Structure 1
Amino acid sequence: MPADDLPQDKQFASTLANGLELLQCFKPGEPLLGNREFVARTGLDKATVSRLCFTLTALGYLRHDIKLGKYRLGAAVLSMGYPLLASMILRQVARPLMNELASEVGGTVGIGIRDRAEMVYMDTARSEEGDAPLIDIGASMPLIATAIGRAWLTRADPIERESALNQIKVRYPKLFAEHARRLPQTMREMASRGYCTNPGYFQPDRLAVAVPMSRLVNSEIVVFNCTVPAARAATPDTQQRVGLRLVTLVRSVEVALGLR
């Protein structure tokens, strides 16, 4: 069922969904949030937010800072995510290859899966210093504005892609208006080259390359990406080399997992 239709389904537990949505309000650089921020970011009323915060705190998913009157994520959130990461054999198989490519190109290599309108990193390998963005496990980026996200869209079936685009349009209307028109070009690029490119999301002077796996892993579309400083990818030949190296990495992972 498309995600857009879920709230209307009789089996959909709205209270549970609201609690999870509240936990999603936290972002890097914002470890503390109060009821006012929760209300603004979820659209829920104050009474509902108050009840959810109380319940989530009692269960260990939030911790209440009494002095500041705000909440931070609790250890239960980390514990909940660990079984997922631990069960992903893909990470163990890909890690040496990711380290090798990151060192070779002097950049960052990552693996991402979709979370509604965003791509979430399940692992990264980094071989660069300076002011390069630090992308770590759990970091998320808008799906429509990034190479890793648009690579996911090219791999999704039409129904899943349409559902994702509808969620993006609601959550990131400005980014959707700016980037959605580039999707047909990305699909052509993927079809002809096997990879797609895009300026870096945090730093437009960087080059980002992305390749989706050809088969689902644990029912997920998995995408690998590689970002490098523009100085190392100034020519089309260099861009092609990075793109083809990433394609080779992904195919090697697929062979190691028995997907080819």
Structure 2
Amino acid sequence: MAKVAEREPMQGAQSIDRALSLLSAFTPQHPQQRIADLVAGSGLGQSTVSRMVGAMLSLGFLSHDPRSGLYSLGPEVVNLAAVVLNQSPVHHQARQVAQDLAAELGLGVNVAERAGDRLFYLCNFEGKQAPRASTLIGRGGPLHATALGKSLLLDHDPADVEALLGVEYPRYTNSTITSLSDLLAELDLVRGRGYAVEHEELALRRACLAAPIRDRSGTVVAAMSVSGPLSAMNLTENEDHLAMLLIEQADRISVGLGFTALTA
């Protein structure tokens, strides 16, 4: 009897793992899937995938388009995502500040935290000069190739950065930082300036400035950025002005999180 009792929780855990693996198959690059796609990607049998998809459909975690036969994530996933965001102190403090700044500048304004060796977008607002067809919220990005990522690394000493990212990094453009030594040198510049610059390092014809956000202990817990096409950012003329506004608003969020060590 004991063996049977032990087997049931193990089978339940296996089912949860399988269900989560199916949900994880839906990505920004592949937001819609067929049953055959889920079978191929998961390695599970078609009957198992069909049964689990049916259960997730009934619970609202998946949606189905009968005309195309494609499945996509359902409204219950959005509901859970909203719960995560709404319980985040950074999101709570930053959302209105970021939205107002995007409206004022007409540029994109983002707020991100670090999640392991990548960044995680908490807020994403587009201005008229920097429109996007889809939201960045919930998506990740590289730390070494973004202004947000550099700001999120400011509290890390060289050994921490190496342990987190290694010594060589993927190249996205000819301007991407690809070595630990170059990244450490860039972080020293960011500390001296108070903000990070990204100039066509992740994507061509785009630029970004970012500043750190700190909690009551003074630890960098997030970062906020202003971004857009090179022509809209016009860093040659606007960098100082944009950096001043960005740092001011990032500091507002830090104060909302309890940080009190701001200096003139």
TM-score (norm 1): 0.70
Greater relative CO, 1 or 2 (CA 8 Å, sep 6+): 1
Distance (whole Å) between structure 2 residues aligned to residue 56 and residue 197 of structure 1? 43
Aligned residue in 2 for 1:243:
243
What is the aligned residue count? 240
Other structure's SS at 2:125 match: strand
Correspondence 1:49-198 to 2 at 5 A:
50=49, 53-65=53-65, 68-116=68-116, 118-129=118-129, 132-134=131-133, 136=135, 138-144=137-143, 145-156=145-156, 161=161, 164-165=164-165, 175=172, 179-181=177-179, 182-198=182-198
Counterpart of 1:190, as a letter, is V
Distance (whole Å) between structure 1 residues aligned to residue 104 and residue 28 of structure 2? 29
Other structure's SS at 1:183 match: helix
Counterpart of 1:143, as a letter, is P
RMSD: 3.9
Rg larger in structure: 2
CA offsets 1:93-116 (integer angstroms, 9 cap, x no match):
334433443344331111112345
CA offsets 1:118-140 (integer angstroms, 9 cap, x no match):
433222333224x6334636252
Q: Answer yes or no: is the 8 Å Cα contact 2:213–2:220 preserved in 1.
A: no
Other structure's SS at 1:213 match: strand
Aligned residue in 1 for 2:7:
none
Relative to structure 2, which stretch is displaced further, 246-255 or 181-190?
181-190
TM-score (norm 2): 0.70
Q: Answer yes or no: is the 8 Å Cα contact 2:170–2:178 preserved in 1.
A: no
Distance (whole Å) between structure 1 residues aligned to residue 216 and residue 56 of structure 2? 33
CA offsets 1:211-257 (integer angstroms, 9 cap, x no match):
2223389x993121111332344354522332232122111211133
Query: Cα distance 1:116–1:69, how it changes in 2: closer, same or farther (>3 A)?
Result: farther
Counterpart of 2:210, as a letter, is A
Aligned residue in 1 for 2:228:
228
Distance (whole Å) between structure 1 residues aligned to residue 232 and residue 214 of structure 2? 28
Distance (whole Å) between structure 2 residues aligned to residue 70 and residue 104 of structure 1? 40
Distance (whole Å) between structure 1 residues aligned to residue 163 and residue 71 of structure 2? 32
Q: Answer yes or no: is the 8 Å Cα contact 2:98–2:123 preserved in 1.
A: no
Counterpart of 1:148, as a letter, is L
Q: Answer yes or no: is the 8 Å Cα contact 2:148–2:223 preserved in 1.
A: yes
Other structure's SS at 2:224 match: strand
Counterpart of 2:147, as a letter, is A
Counterpart of 1:227, as a letter, is S
Q: Answer yes or no: is the 8 Å Cα contact 1:106–1:228 preserved in 2.
A: no
Structure 2: give runs of 5+ residues left out of the alignment: 1-12
Q: Answer yes or no: is the 8 Å Cα contact 1:198–1:209 preserved in 2.
A: yes
Counterpart of 1:73, as a letter, is L
Other structure's SS at 1:33 match: coil
Query: Cα distance 1:259–1:205, how it changes in 2: closer, same or farther (>3 A)?
Result: same
Q: Does 1:46 align with 2:44?
A: yes
Q: CA offset at residue 82 of structure 1?
A: 1.7
Distance (whole Å) between structure 2 residues aligned to residue 75 and residue 135 of structure 1? 17
Counterpart of 1:63, as a letter, is S
Other structure's SS at 1:133 match: coil
